[in-house]
Amino acid sequence: MAIETNGITNQVWPNIKNKSVNLKQFFPIFEWGKTYDKGQFTNDGIAAIIVTIMLIPQSLAYALLAGLPAEMGIYASIIPIILYAIFGTSRALAVGPVAVVSLMTAAAVGNIAEQGTADYITAALTLAFLSGAFLILLGIFRLGFIANFLSHPVIAGFITASGIIIATSQIKHILGINASGHNLYELISSIFSHLDETNIITCLIGLSSIAFLFWVRGGLKPLLLKLGLKPKLAEILSRAGPVAAVVLTTLIAWGFNLITQNVAVVGDVPQGLPPLSSPSFSFDLWSSLIGSAILISIIGFVESISVAQTLAAKKRQRIDPNQELIGLGAANLGSAFSGGYPVTGGFARSVVNFDAGAATPAAGAYTAIGLAIASLLLTPLIFFLPKATLAATIIVAVLSLVDFSILKRTWDYSKADFIAVTATILITLLFGVEIGVSAGVVISVFIHLYKTSRPHIAIVGQVPGTEHFRNVDRHKVITQNNILTIRIDESLYFANARFLEDQLYDMVAEHPKLEHVILMCPGVNEIDMSALESLEAINERLKDLNVKFHFSEIKGPVMDKLHKTEFLKHQTGRIYLSQHQAICDLTKGTDPSCDETEKVLEE
């Protein structure tokens, strides 16, 4: 579009403006970066300190959960955070390893290689690469809606079951025994078969850490406030509870040389910044991991976008789901090339980041700097860190994810959703996370198809003294013996077209004096080809019965598609703008409001 300026046509400026908009769209850092000020820097810095303190033990623990060397948890929390700060749209989301994705990583990679081997690490890097590539493709083609195939109740059920499996999988570290398994039955069986190997000292460390961490969550902050500390400082110290557990148990293990008592410790952790790593480009490995990568990507995106939108709403900020896909994809690609494994936005760390006052994604970048410093200076100090302490950190973190109240809520509200949640929980517990989440997707789609294949269909009549039409079973309404008005409350497509035919024929059979059938369509947003063929069949069937077939309240886009067909040429009845208009025309009613309708019809 040209712009006239002093008689000179300018064709360039609009293009420059559009390029600027696109640049901000794909690089949100240019959006918030241009207004970054000292106040935001201070807020982001404080938030970064708090989150860094929290992430050091958490990152180590989640790497342990994924079956990877502890340092990979820290590596996965440095470059990915920086990349998300550049490409992501959430100002509070903290990206890194999370419990559910770590468990799914262990399940996926464990089927390909043995823990502790180079092949296992390579597979984890490749999984991060595939996840990142898939997420970026979804973002480029704006396919974020794919995540909608997982309903919220199913996600809640999957996360609850995963939390139970994760907590159970860490019992072996609490007891100091060898145990394995990909589902609840295998884990429990393996634990019981090795109970006689329990290390008492390890058990004491693990149980004490669990008790301490639970107390820290609810009791430390009130205690600090009673002692006179300022709320902000009390908050920081309470968030540092896991660090205190790490420091104390490490000192005990070092001071008493508990390695000689067979207490498992983290051991040597490489000192330095994340290394330059490379995923495998083997076709065989890709084909083995691609299914898991897709599942991890979708689950991670659903978890991340839920947290991001919740936090953004509190500050009236906007989240772009498709750009979030690109941000998370970039983070995973960064993780693959910097010694990490699949990452996503974590609930706990994001809430802490938000509560600590993070103003922009720069808080994540500062957190990455803090973790890089820790990787350079602190890793030699965690040689004696008991694995039982990290296991306790995981258990306390994931038990907050377990929410059985979803069962009661869905039972009270929707039996179909209750069945979906229950099935997802049981399948995940009995067969593992990958089969569980796959079943969740299938169940979600099946429930949607089932619900929409049997849409609500009501016979409606006119509410006396109004132009409104309501269900005859719910309201006292006016109806006519020769007119049947049916309201369909769902779009018409292949899964419910036959159902509409059957229901309509049954209703017509119950009205022997019928002359007109009106299909009222305020809830119809789409009519596909199968549904159109059903409407044509209905029209012909009613024609044979000397009954005219009318429509009312068809939406514009649906009407546009009907105009492209031959259906309207063969329709026996008319199409009315409103149901009231249809009744006035077909009954020549005496209602005064019909006078205006008559004028509209004449025009």
Rounded to whole angstroms, the Cα distance separating 153 from 408 reads 11
Which residue intervals of 216-282 are DSSP H helices? Answer: 221-226, 231-239, 241-255
Task: Tell me, yes or no, whether 474 and 351 share the same domain.
Answer: no
Task: Tell me, yes or no, whether 205 and 97 share the same domain.
Answer: yes
Task: Tell me, yes or no, whether 153 and 253 share the same domain.
Answer: yes
User: Which tokens in the block code for residue 426?
Assistant: 């049981």
Q: What is the pLDDT of residue 590?
A: 54
Q: Are strands 95-96 and 457-462 parallel, antiparallel or unpaired?
A: unpaired
Q: Tell me: the pLDDT tens digits for 427-463?
A: 999 998 888 888 888 888 888 888 889 999 999 999 9
Rounded to whole angstroms, the Cα distance separating 509 from 127 reads 60
Q: What is the mean pLDDT of each run of 10 residues along the chain (603 residues)?
A: 39 41 67 82 87 86 92 94 92 90 93 92 97 95 78 85 92 93 91 94 96 87 85 76 88 94 91 92 96 92 86 81 93 97 89 82 91 89 92 88 90 90 93 86 84 92 93 93 95 94 94 94 95 96 96 96 94 95 83 57 45
Q: Does any domain span residue 279?
A: yes
Q: What is the pLDDT of residue 8?
A: 37
DSSP H or E run through 75: helix 71-75
Last residue of one domain, picked from the residues 427, 446, 465: 446
Q: Does any domain span residue 452?
A: no
Rounded to whole angstroms, the Cα distance separating 483 from 264 reads 80
Q: What is the pLDDT of residue 427?
A: 94
Residues in the chain: 603
Residues 48, 370: contact at Cβ < 8 Å? Answer: yes
3-state secondary structure of 402: coil
Q: What is the pLDDT of residue 14?
A: 40
Last residue of one domain, picked from the residues 446, 469, 484: 446
Rounded to whole angstroms, the Cα distance separating 331 from 311 reads 20
Rounded to whole angstroms, the Cα distance separating 356 from 43 reads 8
DSSP H or E run through 56: helix 38-65
Parent domain of 502: 457-602
- Which residues are within 8 A (CB) of 196 and not within 5 positions of it... i.e. 6 or more apart? none
Task: Tell me, yes or no, whether 430 and 490 share the same domain.
Answer: no
Task: Tell me, yes or no, whether 43 and 31 share the same domain.
Answer: no
Rounded to whole angstroms, the Cα distance separating 86 from 330 reads 9
Q: What is the pLDDT of residue 596?
A: 56
**Can you list the positions of beta strands (E) in 243-342?**
none
Q: What is the pLDDT of residue 601?
A: 47
Residues 466, 475: contact at Cβ < 8 Å? Answer: no
Q: What is the pLDDT of residue 19?
A: 43
Which residues is 294 bridged to in the sheet? none
Amino acid at residue number 504: L
Q: What is the pLDDT of residue 91?
A: 85
Q: Does any domain span residue 438?
A: yes
- Which residues are within 8 A (CB) of 137 and not within 5 positions of it... i.e. 6 or more apart? 143, 329
From residue 488, how far is each of 454, 525, 586 by CA, in Å? 10, 11, 20
Q: Are strands 457-462 and 469-471 parallel, antiparallel or unpaired?
A: antiparallel
User: Which tokens in the block code for residue 33?
Assistant: 């970066």
Nearest in space to 31 (alpha carbons), one of 323, 343, 356: 323
User: Which tokens in the block code for residue 352?
Assistant: 């802490």
Q: What is the pLDDT of residue 278?
A: 93
Task: Tell me, yes or no, whether 86 and 191 share the same domain.
Answer: yes
Q: Does any domain span residue 392?
A: yes
316: buried, middle or exposed (CB in 10 Å: 19+, 13-18, 0-12)? exposed
Task: Tell me, yes or no, whether 425 and 505 share the same domain.
Answer: no
Q: Does any domain span residue 432?
A: yes
Q: Are strands 483-488 and 516-520 parallel, antiparallel or unpaired?
A: parallel
Handedness of CA 584, 588, 589, 591 (dihedral sign): positive
Q: Tell me: the pLDDT tens digits for 346-371?
A: 887 888 788 778 888 899 899 999 99
DSSP H or E run through 367: helix 362-377
Write the DSSP symbol of residue 527. B
Q: What is the pLDDT of residue 23?
A: 61
9-36: string of b/e by CB count within 10 Å (b at 16+)? eeeeeeeeeeeeeeeeeeebbeebeeee
Task: Tell me, yes or no, whether 7 and 115 share the same domain.
Answer: no
Residues 28, 87: contact at Cβ < 8 Å? Answer: yes
- What's the CATH code of the domain at 463? 3.30.750.24
Cβ atoms within 10 A of the Cβ of 490, count? 20
Task: Tell me, yes or no, whether 439 and 472 share the same domain.
Answer: no
Q: Does any domain span residue 148?
A: yes
- 């369909």: which residue's tokens? 488
From residue 495, how far is each of 534, 566, 568 by CA, in Å? 11, 23, 23
Rounded to whole angstroms, the Cα distance separating 558 from 555 reads 5
The tally of domains found in the chain comes to 3
- Which residues are within 8 A (CB) of 260 and not within 5 positions of it... i.e. 6 or more apart? none
Task: Tell me, yes or no, whether 504 and 367 share the same domain.
Answer: no
54-83: string of b/e by CB count within 10 Å (b at 16+)? bbbbbbbbbbbbbbbbbbbbbbbbbbbbbb
510-549: string of b/e by CB count within 10 Å (b at 16+)? ebeebebbbbbbeebeebeeebbebbbebbeebeeeebbb
Last residue of one domain, picked from the residues 415, 446, 477: 446
From residue 321, how far is each of 261, 306, 441, 464 by CA, in Å? 51, 10, 20, 47
Q: Tell me: the pLDDT tens digits for 250-308?
A: 999 999 999 999 999 998 888 888 999 999 999 999 999 999 999 999 989 988 988 88
Handedness of CA 326, 331, 337, 343 (dihedral sign): negative
Task: Tell me, yes or no, whether 428 and 476 share the same domain.
Answer: no
Q: Does any domain span residue 451?
A: no
Handedness of CA 134, 135, 138, 139 (dihedral sign): negative
Residues 110, 399: contact at Cβ < 8 Å? Answer: no
User: Which pTM does this prediction carry?
Assistant: 0.79
User: Which tokens in the block code for residue 268?
Assistant: 């040597």
Nearest in space to 515 (alpha carbons), one of 552, 545, 471, 553: 545
- Which residues are within 8 A (CB) of 48 and not within 5 positions of it... i.e. 6 or more apart? 358, 363, 364, 366, 367, 369, 370
Task: Tell me, yes or no, whether 94 and 222 share the same domain.
Answer: yes
Q: Are strands 457-462 and 483-488 parallel, antiparallel or unpaired?
A: antiparallel
Q: Tell me: the pLDDT tens digits for 44-64?
A: 998 888 888 878 888 999 998
415: buried, middle or exposed (CB in 10 Å: 19+, 13-18, 0-12)? exposed
